[in-house]
């Protein structure tokens, strides 16, 4: 199979989804209103609620939702062959992810920037909200603890990425100052920021940074994990315009440049996909294609974490409601293109099928490492960049994305902790909530040893938990559509499919972990399964009641609630 053919078909499908389907969703389903006031204006506080240029906000949203998952998931999933992964990424991006992300953003904007967890209380009920918060908290815990170890491993495996990864923080702060304090031209600031970032990549490629094997009794991996949590904790309480927005924006631009480098290399080198379309000789530890494909590739097809970002940070920065299409749906497009690039890198970045099979000897392959290795091989062949520099560019891309996800993840977990406190009648400040989030994350990371890799022990639950949250988010959107008597099938059909595959996967995994004696995973699986089923029952009941009730003017109700709060 020619990789260029796969790239052209995939890009065309995803771009067509934005140009056509997202336009239908914006006009007929969500009915985005260009003159309606958004929470960023109505509740502006200069910290979390800040009206933002849609291109800058897109950068924040895109890089926050992308992280390492759209690289790792497809890189692992191609073990079943490139065709299933390709179909799920392209179809999922167009009909699942784009609709989910734009819808979650719109729903939060229509509810004063409330998170999906808070919205579940209004549209499903208090029991649904409480169980929703349990699922959200566990998912954020997995994301923060695991992404820390993913970044740490990448920094150790590719020490040339250390300088650009940390230097990007300084560049981002400068970009934020230039845009918000000095009101400089966004295009000019963008060019300067990208040039500085790539200068750091060149510097890092020449001067790799390698930590000693142990620092104060901790292995180097653990040191990186601690530093990452400390950084993410600090970043999560700073005003979004100071670091979060500009860092995510400049990283988003850098990612599209990196993707451009990869896709141009595919165009020039025209490498052959050596992996089979359907792999009939999978390793013994590989689970069944159905339903595990649909939870192995989450980000890149549809992801519940995106709903948390859309309703947690992005909705508080949206300048106009109509920007939801660009920020939400096009953010999913960017992630789909990244996932497609990962599929190509991990199937066409090898000389022979034997070389590919030598890497894919187990289902738990190091997906990020395979992406960097395979992608660097394609870039080297296409553009002639030295292998070290090619690897540095791709590793830096993966690190920066995972780090921005941690930034946003800690901020979101702070929001969730504060929401949980409100449920039990307490009030927790953002500083205390942030400390709790950092401590809990580090506790999980170091819970299984001094290397800080404890978060990997519950990572097998990430895919199912993430997809369940996406399904539950879609249930809220479906209820809102039914209340307004708007087209609900574009939401209900993906909702039914996603919940069916995810619940099936939870049951399959439960049986496997019982057989293995992995009791911690068994307990967590049961907790998540029970919570999900309970919320689903509550959501179905809410849909049934809503269908019988007369249409509700949510817009008038929203305005009345907002006026009462003011």
Global confidence as pTM = 0.84
Token pair for residue 117? 């967890």
Whether the CB-CB separation of 128 and 497 falls below 8 Å is answered with no
| Residue range 548-561: mean pLDDT, rounded | 62
| Lowest-confidence pick of 90-99, 170-179, 526-535, 547-556 | 547-556
More confident call, 248 vs 197: 197
Whether the CB-CB separation of 378 and 269 falls below 8 Å is answered with yes
Token pair for residue 327? 């920020």
- DSSP alpha helices (H): ranges in 158-184? 162-176
Q: How far apart are the first and last CA of the chain?
A: 60
pLDDT of residue 449: 57
Query: Which residues, at least 6 apart from 443, have a Cβ–Cβ distance to it below 8 Å?
Result: none
* Highest-pLDDT range among 60-64, 65-69, 129-133, 341-345: 341-345
| Lowest-confidence pick of 142-151, 269-278, 447-456, 476-485 | 447-456
Share of the chain above pLDDT 70, in %: 95
* Highest-pLDDT range among 370-379, 453-462, 485-494, 555-564: 485-494
Judge whether residue 564 has pLDDT over 50.
no
Closest CA to 335 of 117, 8, 10: 10
- pLDDT tens string 469-516: 898 899 999 999 998 889 999 999 999 999 999 999 989 989 988 998
More confident call, 127 vs 504: 504
Closest CA to 368 of 73, 109, 161, 84: 73
CB-count exposure of residue 83 (10 Å: 0-12, 13-18, 19+) = middle
When the candidates are 2.30.30, 1.10.10, 3.30.450, 1.10.4160, the CATH number that belongs to 3-456 is 1.10.4160
| Residue range 137-141: mean pLDDT, rounded | 83
pLDDT of residue 277: 95
Judge whether residue 332 has pLDDT over 90.
yes
Judge whether residue 565 has pLDDT over 50.
no
| Residue range 157-174: mean pLDDT, rounded | 92
Chain centroid offset of residue 43 CA = 26
Question: What does the mean pLDDT of the chain come to?
Answer: 87
- pLDDT tens string 385-425: 888 888 888 888 888 877 877 888 888 888 888 888 887 78
Boundaries of every domain in the chain:
3-456
3-class secondary-structure state, position 88: helix
Following CA atoms 400, 403, 404, 410 in sequence, which dihedral angle do they give, to the nearest 10 degrees? 180
Judge whether residue 64 has pLDDT over 80.
no
């Amino acid at each position: 199979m020619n990789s260029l053919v796969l790239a052209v078909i995939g890009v065309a499908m995803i771009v067509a989804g934005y140009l056509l389907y997202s336009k239908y969703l914006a006009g007929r389903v969500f009915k985005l209103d260009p003159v309606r006031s958004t929470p960023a204006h109505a509740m502006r506080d200069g910290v979390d609620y800040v009206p933002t240029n849609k291109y800058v906000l897109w950068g924040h949203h895109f890089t926050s939702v992308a992280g390492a998952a759209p690289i790792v998931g497809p890189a692992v999933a191609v073990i079943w062959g490139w065709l299933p992964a390709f179909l799920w990424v392209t179809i999922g991006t167009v009909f699942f992810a784009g609709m989910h992300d734009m819808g979650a953003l719109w729903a939060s904007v229509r509810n004063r920037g409330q998170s999906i967890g808070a919205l579940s209380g209004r549209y499903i009920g208090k029991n649904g909200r409480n169980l929703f918060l349990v699922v959200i908290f566990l998912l954020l815990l997995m994301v923060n603890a695991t992404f820390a170890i993913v970044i740490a491993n990448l920094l150790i495996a590719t020490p040339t990425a250390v300088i650009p990864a940390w230097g990007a923080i300084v560049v981002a702060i400068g970009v934020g100052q230039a845009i918000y304090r000095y009101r400089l031209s966004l295009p000019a600031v963008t060019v300067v920021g990208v040039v500085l970032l790539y200068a750091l990549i060149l510097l890092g490629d020449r001067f790799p940074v390698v930590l000693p094997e142990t620092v104060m009794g901790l292995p180097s991996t653990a040191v990186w994990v601690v530093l990452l949590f400390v950084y993410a904790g600090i970043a999560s309480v700073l005003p979004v315009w100071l670091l979060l927005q500009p860092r995510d924006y400049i990283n988003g631009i850098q990612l599209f440049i990196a993707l451009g480098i990869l896709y141009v290399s595919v165009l020039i080198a025209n490498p052959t996909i050596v992996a089979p379309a359907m792999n009939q000789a999978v390793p013994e530890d590989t689970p069944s294609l159905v339903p595990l494909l649909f939870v192995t590739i989450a980000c890149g097809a549809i992801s519940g974490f995106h709903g948390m970002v859309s309703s947690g940070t992005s909705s508080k920065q949206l300048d106009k409601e109509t920007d939801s299409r660009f920020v939400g749906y096009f953010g999913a497009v960017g992630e789909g293109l990244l996932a497609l690039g990962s599929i190509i890198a991990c199937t066409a970045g090898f000389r022979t099928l034997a070389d590919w099979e030598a890497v894919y000897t187990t289902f738990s392959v190091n997906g990020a490492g395979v992406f960097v290795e395979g992608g660097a091989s394609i870039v080297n062949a296409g553009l002639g960049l030295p292998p070290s520099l090619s690897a540095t560019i791709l590793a830096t891309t993966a690190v920066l994305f995972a780090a921005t996800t941690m930034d946003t993840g800690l901020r979101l977990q702070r929001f969730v902790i504060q929401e949980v406190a409100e449920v039990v009648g307490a009030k927790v400040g953002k500083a205390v909530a942030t400390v709790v989030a950092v401590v809990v994350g580090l506790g999980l990371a170091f819970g299984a040893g001094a290397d800080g890799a404890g978060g990997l022990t519950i990572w097998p639950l990430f895919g199912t938990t993430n997809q369940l949250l996406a399904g539950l988010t879609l249930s809220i959107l479906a209820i809102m559509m039914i209340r307004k008597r708007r087209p609900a099938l574009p939401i209900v059909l993906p909702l039914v499919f996603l919940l069916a595959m995810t619940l099936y996967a939870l049951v399959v995994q439960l049986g496997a972990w019982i057989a293995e004696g992995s009791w911690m995973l068994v307990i967590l699986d049961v907790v998540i399964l029970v919570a999900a089923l309970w919320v689903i029952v509550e959501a179905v009941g809410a849909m049934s009641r809503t269908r019988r009730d007369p249409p509700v003017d949510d817009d008038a109700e929203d305005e009345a609630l907002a006026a009462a709060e003011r």
